[in-house]
Structure 1
Amino acid sequence: MGSGHPSKPVAYVRNMEHHMADYITKRVAAETKHKVRIIHAYAGKIAKVHETLEAVEKGLLDLGGYCVCFESAKLLPLNWDYFTPFTTGDIRKQVAVKRRVMAEHPELYDMLDKKYKQKMIAITGFDNYGLGTKFEWTDVSQLKGKKIIAAGPNLPWVERYGAIPVTTTLPTAYNALQTGVASGFIMFPGVYYGFKFHEPAPYFKIVNLGAQAQTILTMNHNTRKKLPKDVLKIIDDAAKSYEKVATLDSYKSEAIGIAKLKKAGAKVSTLPVVQQTKWAKALKDWPNERAHDLHKGYGINGPLIMEKYMKYMEEAGHKWPYRYQFKQLGS
């Protein structure tokens, strides 16, 4: 079982190492005649962040946890919540709504089974995205011309406002900020503190770009076929428990991360709602473009799904600073 990300500072990984693994080993020992040994391989020990899908597909990992943000070519349909910035900052609501949409549209994730020889057994994610920078800023227009790093699919959040986008990963981001390759990083507070990004970039702005249900736990098909049925059921039960525990951990990480950043001397502030609205309006055409990309590249009705997602998020109590519009297919 492994991930490209390290365990300690990242909620979805540390709950793989501890909650998921402990749940499996304890129940297998108590309820079956079998013995199970889990080999942990985090922080890229077997596969880096952009290699984990392939590692599970090939059987190098039996269970792999990864962010679909690093698989925007193969798994673009699972990135759709990235395409509606300023969504809810509550990862618990995000996971619930994403699960609701996915239950109605299995085409969003069935490529994992059909093409990549793995089954998704859990989904969780990251807490509310903010923006850490090496410079102080108060107006979103001040981001123009600045080099900002992010995972990839969310770079248009700043690119559409004139920033210079630079793709990165968590393991390389600190050096990019320290050496001046970039002057800002789109990141959530828990991990921002955990990786000590506040050292090279001490200004952290709570901008409420939203929490993202972007991390999934998958299991190799052949491994599932080989395991005894009672052990497999325990693993699937463990995954359900893991999803709840890891999501709650991620939710708590936001407040804990902000408190720790302040204690460490970082300059933490909140972007006013009027600025959030200004930023969202600058992105108004992008969600529709991405929705149609889902149709062009994958045959998926992106406009319908993303409109449904926004509606369900409103039903969950979220108020969008700007209501994105989608041109429906055939209209």
Structure 2
Amino acid sequence: MLMTRRLIASAALLAAAGALAPAHAQQTIRLTAAAGHPPVFLWVKLVDEFFIPEVDKRLAAAGGKHKVEWTRAWGGTLIKLGAESKGIGDGVADLGFVSTIFEAAKFPTQNVSYYAPFGTDDIGAVTRVVNEMQTSIPAMGQAWSKSGLVYLGGAALDAYHIWTSFPLKSVDDLKGKKITAPGPAANWIRDTGAVAVAGNLNTYYEDIKSGVSNGVITFATGAWGAKVHEVAPYVTKVNFGAQYAGGLAINRARFDKLPPEVQKVMREVGAEYSQRFAAAQSAAAAGLLKKMEEAGAKVSELSPAERTRWADTLPPIAKTWAADLQAKGLPGDQVLHGFMNGLRKAGAQPARDWAAR
């Protein structure tokens, strides 16, 4: 009888404990987010301050069944700039920002805007056009999957201008000058008499300070973070156009193993990341140009006639680029026409029709 009573009491205690326990155990998912750039740059800052906390917030609001435990590795501490797609694809990190501008070999079609400059300064329009093309043109979307990635959201940078250590009033002032330009942006000074110097946001300041170059083609938000205006105080607003520069991506194998609810949240927050980035980048660019001017930079705007002259001075870089892709079995012509048509549908008036000449 005593044993029976003890068994009954134990069963009652277990039942009570079960009633107090949650209906389901919370699943903890451990993810590492990384980027080659530090969070002073907005595309990383928004991953850190919007994407990650927003995913956490939405998962909690959905009942807290899943929780992500994040490890952050910014500024090249885990994956170096230009190696993000490999690092994330190989699983060194799970998620991060992939700078397609520095990985042209893997993402050739994503660089279309850099071969069709003088388009539009509308960041949102460029982002939407490229995002839509990555869905409608299979080869563009496949560039991500072939690298073992799932694309979550994109980012176009604010319009590129030129920062120089000398006054710039016309294309003629570039003759004999050394200008640092990232990747394909070197094409923007071809046939102008200037010499292109390779570099990136992490090298611009020292390049100009040491005399390796006399200026740099870049964008306001990047220039501010790199303090370019301190060594190149002449800021000439040329408006080479907003440029698609990369996207937020996650390791495909890791993503496929995530619960469907978590996948859904990440896709939704990734889409919102694109929208928020465009709005924040536009506002930041205007504000930072003003701050540079207040700090002593001499900000001027190239005349529309001189801007058109600059665009017309360049060789047919877009058609050459598209032809090279066609020779490699990629739809270069389709991508170029799609981009130009997309800009016009968005209301832009490019200074040159790159698909025509």
SS of 2:163's partner is strand
Alignment of 1:133 with 2:161, yes or no, is no
Q: What SS does the aligned partner of 1:100 have? A: helix
Q: Does 1:2 pair with 2:51?
A: no
Looking at structure 2, the residues matched to 123 and 277 of structure 1 have their Cα atoms a distance apart, in angstroms, of: 29
Structure 1, 129-138 or 104-113: larger mean CA deviation: 104-113
Q: Which amino acid aligns with 1:167?
A: A
Matched, 1:317 2:347: yes
- Check whether the contact 2:110–2:130 (CA below 8 A) recurs between aligned residues: no
Q: Secondary structure at the match of 2:249?
A: strand
String of CA shifts for 1:3-44, please: whole Å, max 9, x gaps. Answer: 111112x22111000000110112222323222111111111
Of 316, 322, 327 in structure 2, the residue corresponding to residue 291 of structure 1 is 322
Q: 2:197 aligns with which of 138, 146, 166?
A: 166
Matched ranges for 1:166-245 at <5 A: 166-245=197-276
Partner residue, 1:60: 92
Q: Does the Cα contact within 8 Å between 1:6 and 1:42 map onto a contact in 2?
A: yes
What is the DSSP-based 3-state SS (H/G/I as helix, E as strand, rest coil) of the residue aligned with 1:289?
A: helix
2:307 alignment partner, one of 264, 276, 281: 276
For 2:18, the equivalent position in structure 1 comes to none
Structure 2 unaligned regions, length at least 5: 1-32
CA distance in 2, matches of 1:131, 1:26: 40
Q: How far off is 1:89 after superposition?
A: 0.6
Q: CA deviation at 1:229?
A: 2.0
How far 1:102 moved relative to its partner? 2.7
What is the rounded CA distance, in whole Å, between the counterparts of 1:184 and 1:211 in structure 2?
19
The corresponding residue for 1:47 is: 79
Segments of 5+ residues of structure 1 without an aligned counterpart are: none
Distance 1:104 1:246 in 2: 22
2-side partners of 1:253 and 1:226: how far apart? 37
**One-letter code of the match for 1:307?**
H
Percent identical pairs in the alignment equals 31
Work out which structure has the larger RCO, using CA pairs closer than 8 Å and 6 or more positions apart in sequence.
1
Q: Which moved more, 1:128-137 or 1:95-104?
A: 95-104
Task: Check the 8 A contact 1:190/1:256 in 2, yes or no.
Answer: no
Q: State the Cα distance separating 1:248 from its structure 2 match.
A: 1.2
Alpha-carbon distance in structure 2 between the residues aligned to 1:90 and 1:288: 23
- 1:119·1:218 contact (CA, 8 Å) conserved in 2? yes
Residue equivalent to 2:129? 97
TM-score normalised per structure 1 = 0.94
Kindly state the Cα deviation for residue 284 of structure 1 after the two structures are TM-superposed.
Answer: 4.3
Aligned to 1:26: 57
**Counterpart check, 1:123 vs 2:123:** no
Secondary structure, counterpart of 1:171 in structure 2: coil
Secondary structure in structure 1 of the residue aligned to 2:228: coil
The TM-score, its normalising length taken from structure 2, stands at 0.87
Does the CA contact (< 8 Å) of 1:174 and 1:197 recur in 2? yes
- Measured in 2, the distance between the counterparts of 1:308 and 1:240 equals 21
- Does the 8 A contact of 2:112 with 2:339 survive in 1? no
Of residues 184-193 and 269-278 in structure 1, the stretch that sits farther from structure 2 once superposed is 184-193
- In the alignment, the residues of structure 2 paired with residue 314 and residue 224 of structure 1 have an alpha-carbon distance, to the nearest angstrom, of 36
- What letter matches 1:172 in structure 2? T
Structure with greater Cα Rg: 2
Cα contact 2:158–2:221 (8 A) shared by 1: yes
Q: Amino acid of the residue matched to residue 312 of structure 1? A: G
Matched, 1:155 2:186: yes
Q: Is the 8 A contact 1:287 1:326 kept in 2?
A: no
Question: 1:25, 1:37 within 8 Å by CA — same for their partners in 2?
Answer: no
| Change in 2 beyond 3 A, CA 1:100/1:34 | closer
Partner AA of 1:55 in structure 2:
G
Check the 8 A contact 1:143/1:163 in 2, yes or no.
Answer: yes
The alignment's C-alpha RMSD in Å is: 1.5
Contact 2:133–2:140 under 8 Å retained in 1: no
Deviations 1:156-179 (A, max 9, x none): 101332211111111121111111
Q: How many residues align?
A: 324
Structure 1 equivalent of residue 109 of structure 2: 77
Deviates more, 1:199-208 or 1:317-326: 317-326
How far did residue 79 of structure 1 move?
0.4
Q: Distance in 2 between matches of 1:321 and 1:242?
A: 29
**Are the counterparts in 2 of residues 127 and 210 from structure 1 also a CA contact under 8 Å?**
yes
